[in-house]
Amino acid sequence: MKKNITLLMSILFVGLFTFSSCSKDDDPSTGGTTAKTEAISFKLNGSDFSVGTFNQDLDEISNFIELTANGSDQVTVLSLFLDVNGDGNLDVTDPLEASVTLQIGGNLYVGKSGSVIITSNDKAARTMEGTFSFVTTDNAQTPTDFTISEGKFYAKY
């Protein structure tokens, strides 16, 4: 009888342990869901931009993070420079908050209007998430503007 109780308790313990440790993905930083990966996406003049590579670099001196999306066309580069301490709505024309550049071939376009909205900035985990939309210009005599819309990013710094 004692053997049967021990066997039954062992089966119950193994069963409880097995079912209690099951979840979608055990990642405590995301509450048991799949961990986010660094990514950026946006539209350039209304068309989806094809990102080839996405890089993040923190300048420890200025406390700005640079997010760089290199186009799969190997000609177009979008860069966002964001204050790591920033939260909320950052003006892309205020270099103390954020600045943006778009390079197409040898031409450089700078932020003329728009914003980056930081939706999450976890300084302990060193992650930042947000959205962005803005217009860039080349400041030439007859300026050429490009519209960046529906932008979103997730970065680790």
pTM above 0.95, yes or no: no
Per-residue confidence band for 35, with pLDDT thresholds at 50, 70 and 90: confident
pLDDT reading at 57 higher than 60: yes
Which of 5 and 87 is assigned the larger pLDDT? 87
123 in Cβ contact with 144 (< 8 Å): no
Task: Give the Cβ contact number of residue 121 at 10 Å.
Answer: 19
- The rounded distance, in Å, linking the Cα atoms of 73 and 102 is 14
Q: What are phi and psi of 112, to 5 degrees?
A: -105, -35
pLDDT reading at 31 higher than 60: no
pLDDT tens-place string over residues 74-132: 999 999 999 999 889 999 999 999 999 999 998 999 999 999 999 999 999 999 999 99
